[in-house]
Structure 1
Amino acid sequence: MAASTARLRLASSQTTNDLVLDDVTMRFQTREGTITAVDRVSLSIERGEFVSIIGPSGCGKSTLFNILGGLVSGYDGTVSVAGETVSGPHPAIGMVFQEESTFPWRTVIDNVAFPLEVKGVAKAQRYATARKFIDMVGLAGFEQRYPAELSGGMRQRVAIARTLVFEPKILLMDEPFAALDEQTRLLLGDKVLNIQQDLKQTTLLITHNITEAVQLSDRVVIMSFRPGKVKRIVDIRLPRPRRGDVVGSDAFGRYVAEIWNDLREEASRGMAESEKGALGRAGR
């Protein structure tokens, strides 16, 4: 399967691009000196596309997530949303985080309706909208439950519905299923994929999980170990809709193996770097 070698496009060449990073570099100052987290990353995501970024720990995945979401500044390069250069949070972008983010004192419907409450939407209207997205994530009937009464996967679905309720055109997700078991990850991945297809959202997923990346994505971006660079982009040419049986197919397995071959090399570099650092600290 051929990887994409010409998909690092700029907004000027594709008017359908929703999200573009152009030559983005981010450096942090530490006690050990300057660390380059991401180095000259250029990537464009087309409208309605589902793209995953995968790489070893320390490759700058979450840094890119925070840059795209407008949560950090001080980087070189540019970020564009629908052709508009941005430097902070953008109303077209919704974010789902890895950490537990439901409000324990609020019911499911009040959790989901919260962004609309902040905007001053009338109670009847925000509840009607919240119910639509609660149903979309498969939680109809749980509107009056509290987070403590739900499983981890259900709480994450509440968080996703709360992000979707203001109908962002672009959805960013940072390891949203990391705390879940493999079966729940796959089932919730199916749900997210159905929602993305229904809403025609542009979606970027940060993940460590190769199976998850192949299951959900149109393209998988493989990052190198620090400094994080785009090592390769793999086009996932599996039919949509992606039903559960595709995970057991030979084609699916070949994509997983192909991505792992690249990822193993970078993960090995990261492990060697960590061991070297540990030995250095022990010798002080």
Structure 2
Amino acid sequence: MPAAAAKLRLAETVKEADLVIDGVTMRFETREGAVTAVDDMSFSVERGEFVSIIGPSGCGKSTVFNILGGLVRGYEGKVNVGGDLISGPHPSIGMVFQEESTFPWRTVLDNVAFPLEVKGVRKAERHEKARHFIDMVGLNGFEQRYPAELSGGMRQRVAIARTLVFEPKILLMDEPFAALDEQTRLLLGDKVLKIQEELKQTTLLITHNITEAVQLSDRVIIMTFRPGKVKRIVDIRLPRPRTGDVVGSEAFGRHVAEIWNDLREEASRGMAESEAGARRRKA
């Protein structure tokens, strides 16, 4: 879907969308002057939808993530969450970051229960709720283990359960599987899909992995190289659940190839600009 068509769709679906980013531009001041990280970006994520954002390195994906999570201010445009115009963190949003962020001195149970502890929930109640989400991410039996006793994929599942425990309506994830091997990524992706379908959560994933984006998403937003804009939105017309047969199908491969063609064009442009900049600095 071209960017112009995406804006038209945005205008038509705002009323039913959980998440709307409308004409957002973000500039940062550097020693070399102002840098536009994101330029006039607009899209919406409908209730219960799973959308991925993919783009070349340095295109502003994480900037978009931080804006939506209310961690960055000073941008132009509007961000609407569940009908509310936001200017900071919103209680409907849960965030999972790229860096695994468990507390090494806490057990799995106490890691997951931590947000409820901060809210003052009684110990018995918060542990009961934490156990529910530990089971949901497939870590039943590991409640009393410490992060050092777990694999990287298991620690990331603890981080996901800790975000889910306060039951956010919208889940934002910034490359949460980036440090994992391909097999673990696929298996954890399956787990995330099952959780998303069970909880009916609206989910936005930032990723650089095309296979992951196609495996998980209803739509994939492709960003241009800096300044980041919506280059195209691809509808992933594949049946759910995304079983091994679906992931190995010809249709899945066509989606991967389609997105790669756009991504390669933008990544090549970014590489050419970086090389030109390096030559200028040497001159």
Band the TM-score falls in, shorter-chain normalisation = over 0.9
Residues 25 and 38, structure 1, Cα contact 8 Å, conserved in 2: yes
Q: Distance in 1 between matches of 2:148 and 2:67?
A: 32
Residues 130 and 165, structure 2, Cα contact 8 Å, conserved in 1: yes
- For 1:128, the equivalent position in structure 2 comes to 128
1:31-72: CA deviation from partner (whole Å, max 9, x where unpaired): 111110000001011000000000001111000000000000
Q: Distance in 2 between matches of 1:189 and 1:235?
A: 19
**Greater mean alpha carbon deviation, residues 236-245 or residues 129-138:** 236-245
- For 1:272, the equivalent position in structure 2 comes to 272
Residues 4 and 234, structure 1, Cα contact 8 Å, conserved in 2: no
- For 2:110, the equivalent position in structure 1 comes to 110
Q: Distance in 2 between matches of 1:245 and 1:183?
A: 16
User: SS in structure 2 opposite 1:15?
Assistant: helix
Report the CA distance shift for 1:72/1:3 in structure 2 as closer, same or farther (over 3 A).
Answer: closer
User: SS in structure 2 opposite 1:6?
Assistant: helix
**Greater mean alpha carbon deviation, residues 122-131 or residues 239-248:** 239-248
Q: How does the TM-score come out when normalised to structure 1?
A: 0.97
Structure 1 residues without counterparts, runs of 5 or longer:
none
1:86-136: CA deviation from partner (whole Å, max 9, x where unpaired): 110000000000012000000000000000000000000000000000000
Q: Distance in 1 between matches of 2:2 and 2:253?
A: 15
**Greater mean alpha carbon deviation, residues 242-251 or residues 35-44:** 242-251
- For 2:76, the equivalent position in structure 1 comes to 76
The Cα RMSD (Å) is 1.3
* Aligned residues with identical type, % of pairs: 82
Residues 11 and 44, structure 1, Cα contact 8 Å, conserved in 2: no
Q: Distance in 2 between matches of 1:170 and 1:11?
A: 20
Residue 4 of structure 1 and its aligned partner are, at CA, apart by: 8.9
| Aligned length in residues | 282
Residues 5 and 233, structure 1, Cα contact 8 Å, conserved in 2: no
Residue 280 of structure 1 and its aligned partner are, at CA, apart by: 2.2
- For 2:157, the equivalent position in structure 1 comes to 157
Report the CA distance shift for 1:211/1:3 in structure 2 as closer, same or farther (over 3 A).
Answer: farther
Q: Distance in 1 between matches of 2:234 and 2:166?
A: 31
User: SS in structure 1 opposite 2:5?
Assistant: coil
Residue 282 of structure 1 and its aligned partner are, at CA, apart by: 2.6
Residues 13 and 44, structure 2, Cα contact 8 Å, conserved in 1: no
Residue 10 of structure 1 and its aligned partner are, at CA, apart by: 3.7
Q: Distance in 1 between matches of 2:275 and 2:5?
A: 35
Residue 241 of structure 1 and its aligned partner are, at CA, apart by: 1.3
* 2:206 matches 1:200: no
* 2:263 matches 1:259: no
1:153-180: CA deviation from partner (whole Å, max 9, x where unpaired): 0000000000000000000000000000
1:175 maps to amino acid? E
- For 2:220, the equivalent position in structure 1 comes to 220
User: SS in structure 2 opposite 1:110?
Assistant: helix
Residue 13 of structure 1 and its aligned partner are, at CA, apart by: 4.3
Structure 2 residues without counterparts, runs of 5 or longer:
none
Residue 83 of structure 1 and its aligned partner are, at CA, apart by: 1.6
User: SS in structure 1 opposite 2:231?
Assistant: strand
Q: Distance in 2 between matches of 1:224 and 1:104?
A: 38
Give structure 1 regions of 4+ aligned residues with deviation exceeding 6 angstroms: 2-5
Residues 21 and 42, structure 1, Cα contact 8 Å, conserved in 2: yes
2:5 maps to amino acid? A
**Greater mean alpha carbon deviation, residues 55-64 or residues 3-12:** 3-12
1:179-199: CA deviation from partner (whole Å, max 9, x where unpaired): 000000000000000000000
1:10-46: CA deviation from partner (whole Å, max 9, x where unpaired): 4674422000001000001111111100000010110
1:279 maps to amino acid? R
- For 2:174, the equivalent position in structure 1 comes to 174
- For 1:6, the equivalent position in structure 2 comes to 5
Residue 267 of structure 1 and its aligned partner are, at CA, apart by: 0.3
User: SS in structure 1 opposite 2:132?
Assistant: helix
Residues 51 and 205, structure 2, Cα contact 8 Å, conserved in 1: yes
Residues 3 and 231, structure 2, Cα contact 8 Å, conserved in 1: no
